[in-house]
């Protein structure tokens, strides 16, 4: 079960997140929400990058998203320094305990995906 959840998070958070950022930075996103002013400095920065640096920039964003998802799973699983006294996090998926291994499952999925590309 954890592997399916890891894939779902990767597809939804990492892949879709990267696509959303690409849309924003290449001005291919509908800015009807008034966000153009917020993103304008990033769009200008991106426009001034070489094609190689644009790829590098997106690989950095991707790694940042992966690290963030991993950290959140680590907080839920317990192996991080994040703590609230007398608080224990548990993740249940369809009433099934994730066995405190979501971070490991997610990072294993990321590693497998990178090895197959």
Per-residue pLDDT of the chain (117 residues; tens, 9 = 90+): 678 889 999 999 999 999 988 888 887 666 555 666 777 888 889 999 999 999 999 999 999 999 999 988 888 887 667 777 777 777 777 787 777 788 999 999 999 999 987
- Per-residue confidence (pLDDT) for residue 77, from 0 to 100: 82
Q: Please, what is the angle between helix 102-115 and helix 2-9, to 10°?
A: 60
- Per-residue confidence (pLDDT) for residue 15, from 0 to 100: 95
- Per-residue confidence (pLDDT) for residue 79, from 0 to 100: 60
Place of tokens 């079960």: 1
- Domain residues for the domain of 60 are 2-115
- Count of CA atoms in the C-beta half-sphere (13 A) of 78: 11
The total number of structural domains in the chain stands at: 1
- Per-residue confidence (pLDDT) for residue 31, from 0 to 100: 56
Q: Look up the pTM and report it.
A: 0.83
* The 3-state secondary structure of 16-60, one letter per residue: HHHHHHHHHHCCCCCCCCCCHHHHHHHHHHHHCCCHHHHHHHHHH
Of 62, 73, 64, nearest to 16 (Cα)? 62
Q: 24-44 pLDDT, tens per residue?
A: 888 766 655 566 677 788 888
């Amino acid at each position: 079960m954890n592997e399916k959840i890891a894939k779902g998070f990767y597809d939804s958070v990492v892949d879709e997140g990267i696509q959303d950022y690409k849309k924003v930075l290449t001005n291919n996103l509908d800015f009807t929400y008034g966000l153009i002013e917020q993103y304008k400095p990033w769009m200008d920065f991106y426009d001034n990058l070489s094609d190689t640096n644009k790829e590098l920039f997106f690989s950095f964003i991707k790694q940042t998203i992966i690290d963030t998802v991993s950290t959140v799973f680590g907080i839920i699983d317990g192996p991080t320094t994040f703590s609230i006294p007398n608080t224990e996090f548990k993740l249940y998926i369809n009433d099934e305990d994730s066995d405190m291994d979501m971070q490991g499952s997610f990072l294993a999925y990321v590693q497998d995906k990178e090895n197959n590309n």
